[in-house]
């Protein structure tokens, strides 16, 4: 269900393969944009390892994961969300499987995996920054549109 007055979902889950890069970035970026009343979380189909490049590009944007570590869907305390945004094909298939009999909106935002980048540290960081910026733009556009839409009846 969406916040009636704002058109925003009450809860959003960002889902990717390992909750190490794309989904934790998206979670923090969305928290910056969405009201505090919107519950935002992220998870992976399976838990991965924390990625130091993610910490570096989040710090540049004034964000931090703190002591948070990647978690899997099985580790989530809540498993009902109004909106699940999937960022990788594997995550999208899993979300569709999970929500088959539920009224949960699932959106697929294909997002590049920056771990495939090669080259110098700066070239690799550039790939991570690109993912961060693309997610930031997509989140701003998606939730600005929701907030601007008329309330649902």
Three-state SS across 69-133? CCCEHHHCCCCCCCEEEECCHHHHHHHHHHCCCCCCEEEECCCCCHHHCCCCHHHHHHHHHHHHH
* Angle 6-63-145 from CA coordinates, rounded to 5°: 25
Cα separation values, 54 from 36, 110, 148, 149, Å: 23, 18, 31, 33
Check whether 4 has a pLDDT greater than 60.
no
Report d(CA 64, CA 84) in Å as an integer: 22
Closest to 139 in 3D by CA, of 14, 29, 40: 29
The DSSP string of 70-81 is --BGGG-S----
The model carries a pTM of 0.90
User: pLDDT tens, 13-52?
Assistant: 999 999 999 999 999 999 999 999 999 999 999 989 999 9
Check whether 150 has a pLDDT greater than 50.
no
pLDDT tier for residue 151 given thresholds of 50, 70 and 90: very low
The DSSP string of 36-60 is TTSEEEEEESS-----HHHHHHHHH
The confidence score (pLDDT) of residue 145 equals 63
**Least reliable range by pLDDT among 77-91, 101-115, 139-153:** 139-153
| Residue 115: DSSP 8-state | G
Domain spanning 11-147: which CATH class is it, in words? alpha beta
pLDDT tier for residue 7 given thresholds of 50, 70 and 90: confident
């Amino acid at each position: 269900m969406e916040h009636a007055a704002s058109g925003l979902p009450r809860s959003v889950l960002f889902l990717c393969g390992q909750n190490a890069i794309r989904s934790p970035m998206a979670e923090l970026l969305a928290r910056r944009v969405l009201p505090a009343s919107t519950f935002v979380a992220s998870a992976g189909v399976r838990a991965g390892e924390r990625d130091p490049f993610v910490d570096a590009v989040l710090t540049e944007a004034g964000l931090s994961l703190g002591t948070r570590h990647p978690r899997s869907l099985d580790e989530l305390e809540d498993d009902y969300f109004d909106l699940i945004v999937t960022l990788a094909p594997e995550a999208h298939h899993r979300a569709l499987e999970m929500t088959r009999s539920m009224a949960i909106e699932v959106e697929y935002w294909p997002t590049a995996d920056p771990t495939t980048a090669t080259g110098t540290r700066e070239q690799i960081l550039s790939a991570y920054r690109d993912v961060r910026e693309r997610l930031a733009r997509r989140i701003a556009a998606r939730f600005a549109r929701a907030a601007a839409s008329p309330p649902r009846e």
